[in-house]
Amino acid sequence: MNGLIVADVAIAGGGIIGLSLGLELRRRGLSVVVVERQKAMSSASWAAGGMLAVHDPQNPAELLPLSLRSWELYPAYLERIEELSGLKVPLRTRRAMQYVEPARGDGGRYGDAVTAAEIAEFAPGLDTGSHQFEWLDEGSLDPNDVREALPPAFLAAGGTLLEETEMLSVQSGANGVEVETTRQRISAGMFVNCRGAWSGETSGDAERGLERLPVAPVKGQMGNLRCEPERLRCVVRAPGIYLVPRGDGRVTIGATIEHVGFDETVQESQVRQMAEAALRLLPEAEAPAQMDMWAGLRPGTPDTLPILGRAEKDRCWHATGHYRDGILLAPVTAHVMTQAMLGETTDVGLEAFSAGRF
Ligand code: GLY
């Protein structure tokens, strides 16, 4: 071990949540060090679909205020990342077609019904059968773009990033927090656990001196179909399958929801099954023989809501458990966590997201 780093805030986890929070803390003038056990943005943040699914009917109702605020913050968030990194992170789509459960009927629909003319415009060839779809005001991005741009943006903002560095222990007291890592020791004013799927009981956090959190990995397998870009220009979400066009011929499809621990292996048969479901909707797409396939681990919580706010230990905080919405919720998490850590009123109340609810 060599050297001591002194910072206002130490963050464990260099995914989209940890780095976005680091960026916001830097904007507010705090010094920040992020400790990441692998390369930054190499886990769920990269594997994600990238849908900014504000109005997904599968989201718990309690998530909506956070989701809406995050969608409002997104333009400025991306602008800042682009300015600092010099790399563009474009929204690849700006609307989503959502399958409407028949039981919901017209009364349960949130957005306008998608018409045949609109299907011809945004997704010619889409086979909706007799099902109804609605328009949702949502964007999507390619998480690869964020993976390229966010770490350099954080560095350009003056943040310190320790990659391939394991966090060994966290000791907190009234005067500060001491974090031991496999590289350097950090003496910080505050500590935030942003370790995603690795912030739970099963990942040994309790042994590191962190509070036991009921966060568990939820595996998602995904793949890329090919399709002429103009044949699909919006996200399509139907039962058990979603399609996210990247605007360059790739259409990302996902995702499985598997409770199998820290297993990131890809089972081709499962991805091919999803591809069949996607091709029934969009027969003009193609599932290449050599198909890109990957898997990621979402940080799941018992109620599928994130854990945001104070930890039990002095000067320690949580920002984890974002389950299926880490990309969507990164800007608002950075914003409200910074507010909370600076003792300000948060834009969105965090009571529903406290670790104490479990
Ligand atoms: N965010 C989409 C998923 O978790 O599959």
Q: Which CATH class is domain 96-136+217-300?
A: alpha beta
Q: Scanning the structure block, which residue is given the tokens 């889409």? A: 126
pLDDT on residue 174: 83
Q: For ligand 1, what atom is nearest to the CA of residue 254?
A: 5
Residue located nearest, by CA, to atom 3 of ligand 1 = 324
Ligand 1 binding pocket mutation candidate from 324, 328, 329 (most atoms within 8 A of CB): 324
Q: Per DSSP, which regions of 13-49 are E strands?
A: 32-35
Residue 173 has which token pair?
A: 């007291």
Q: How far is the CA of 255 from the centre of ligand 1 (A)?
A: 6
- Looking at ligand 1, which residue's alpha carbon is closest to its atom 5? 255
104, 109, 110, 115: CA torsion to nearest 10:
150
258 C-alpha to center of ligand 1: Å? 12
| Beta-bridge partners for 242 | 237, 254
In this structure, the dihedral spanned by the alpha carbons of residues 326, 328, 331 and 332, taken in order and rounded to 10 degrees, is: -90
Q: Identify residue 27 by its one-letter amino acid code.
A: R
- DSSP code per residue over 345-357: PPSS--GGG-GGG
Tell me, in angstroms, the distance from the centre of ligand 1 to residue 219's CA: 10
235-238, strands of its sheet edge to edge: 133-136, 96-99, 235-238, 241-245, 250-254, 216-226, 293-300
**What's the confidence (pLDDT) of residue 102?**
81
Ligand 1 atom having least distance to the Cα of 327: 1
Nearest residue (by CA) to ligand 1, atom 1, is 324
CB within 6 Å of ligand 1 — which residues? Answer: 48-49, 51, 220, 254-255, 298, 324
Taking a C-beta distance cutoff of 8 angstroms, is the pair 280, 239 a contact? no
For the stretch 105-115, pLDDT in tens is 555 567 899 99
* 106 CB burial (10 A radius; 0-12, 13-18, 19+): exposed
Q: Whose CA is nearest to atom 4 of ligand 1?
A: 324
Query: How many angstroms does the Cα of residue 44 sit away from the middle of ligand 1?
Result: 10
Domain boundaries, the chain: 4-83+144-215+302-357, 96-136+217-300
Q: Which atom of ligand 1 is nearest to the CA of 50?
A: 1
CATH topology of domain 4-83+144-215+302-357: FAD/NAD(P)-binding domain (3.50.50)
Please give the number of the atom of ligand 1 that sits closest to the Cα of 220. Answer: 5
Q: What does each of the 358 residues of the chain score in pLDDT, given as a tens digit? A: 568 999 999 999 999 999 999 999 999 999 999 999 999 999 999 999 999 999 999 999 999 999 999 999 999 999 999 999 999 999 999 999 999 988 765 555 678 999 999 999 999 999 999 899 999 999 999 999 999 999 999 999 999 999 999 999 999 988 899 999 999 999 999 999 999 999 986 667 777 777 889 999 999 999 999 999 999 999 999 999 999 999 999 999 999 999 999 999 999 999 999 999 999 999 999 999 999 999 999 999 999 999 999 999 999 999 999 999 999 999 999 999 999 999 999 999 999 999 999 9
Say how far apart CA 96 and CA 233 lie, in whole Å.
Answer: 9
